[in-house]
A = this chain, B = another copy of it.
Amino acid sequence: MSTPRIRQPSMRDVARASGVSYQTVSRVINDQERVHPETRARVLAAVDALGYHPNSAARALVTGRGSTVAVVASNTSLYGYARTLEGIEDAAFAAGYTVNITVLRSPDQSDRADAVERLLSQPLAGLIAFTHDDLARSAVEDVPSRMPAVTVFGTGAGGRAHILLDEEGGARAAIRHLLDLGHRTIHHAGVPPLLPSGRLLGWRATLEEAGVPRPEPIPVTWEPRSGYEVGSAIARQHDITAVFAGNDDIATGIVRALIDSGRDVPGDVSVIGFDDTPLAAYTRPSLTTVSQDFVELGRRAFDLLHGLIEQDDQPAGPTVLPTHLVTRESTGPPRR
């Protein structure tokens, strides 16, 4: 039926081939000092000749710790998450770790338990969770605290090391920009979070500080289509002159709807995005948006975890990475 399993060469094979004991091979493989250079050379030659690869399962079994970090997220293909993942993978690879992904697709309790179960059965070194929504957040809480973990995005969870982008600062800058332009208030089309997001908080706080009306947030999903639907509705309310969208995709949908409805952007309505995706500079109009370095976020998240794994140095507070406003064509002063 299936091919008889062919054994990969083991340390014993290498030992036999180079005429030493397999413990000596282990020392060579693990770069320990106390090996005669000549012996080392002989062993290395045998390793090469046999095409030997250390077996990380066996190693994990005896050391009790793997060299894999798991990334837990509810989505890995949206721009920001995909790029963050890329950053994690980059830093992890450089540090000799391997990256595992687990997508939490349903809020279903048993589904989540299953995922966590599976996570923990692997020989993990640590775990990075995207806690922008409640899925990963509750998963983190199911993970025993002895497992090193860092949370990325949102509010964190379980008292874990936490790193995030300064979404609140970005939102503040965005709203201030619009206010400075002369808009009386700014509407917000955002994905309803269970816990208020930095974007929401920054928006709300800035309006409040300016003493201007604070309209109800308009709920959307992350799809451009959803932005389009909201945009069509906004087009009918001529008192709305500025919209702060949850991300660039939503903003693009809104812009398109507005223009399809005969309204001008930014002439009639200013629209601001979030994320600064590669496309944001090339849509028409190009988007004023908040730029975030997701790749750096991912790298730093891994570094944080790495510190936890190696020295158990728990950072005092959350790490906040800067964001900045990029002004483009989609915002302007309101029509007088």
Q: Is the CB of A123 within 8 A of B55?
A: yes
Interface residue stretch chosen among A18-26, A60-68, A210-218: A60-68
Bound-state Cα–Cα, A69 to B159, Å: 32
Interface residue stretch chosen among A149-157, A165-173, A191-199, A248-256: A248-256
Residues of B within 8 A of A89 (CB): 76, 101-103
Q: Is A312 an interface residue (CB 8 A)?
A: yes
- How close is A306's CB to chain B, nearest CB, in angstroms? 13
Q: Is the CB of B56 within 8 A of A146?
A: no
Chain A, 23-60, contact with B by CB distance < 8 Å: what is the 0/1 string? 00000000000000000000000000001011111101
Q: Is A133 an interface residue (CB 8 A)?
A: no
Interface residue stretch chosen among A201-209, A222-230, A237-245: A222-230
Q: Is the CB of B283 within 8 A of A252?
A: yes
Number of copies: 2
10 more A-B contacts (CB under 8 A) besides A8-B120, A76-B89?
A6-B146, A58-B61, A75-B86, A77-B83, A89-B102, A93-B103, A98-B100, A223-B278, A256-B282, A279-B279
A residues with CB within 8 A of B: 1-3, 5-8, 51, 53-58, 60-61, 64-66, 68, 75-77, 79, 82-83, 85-86, 89-90, 93, 96, 98-103, 105, 115, 117-118, 120-123, 144, 146, 223-225, 227-228, 249, 252-253, 255-256, 259, 278-279, 281-284, 286, 310-312
Interface pairs (9), CB distance under 8 Å:
A5-B64, A53-B120, A55-B121, A61-B61, A85-B101, A93-B103, A96-B118, A98-B100, A256-B283
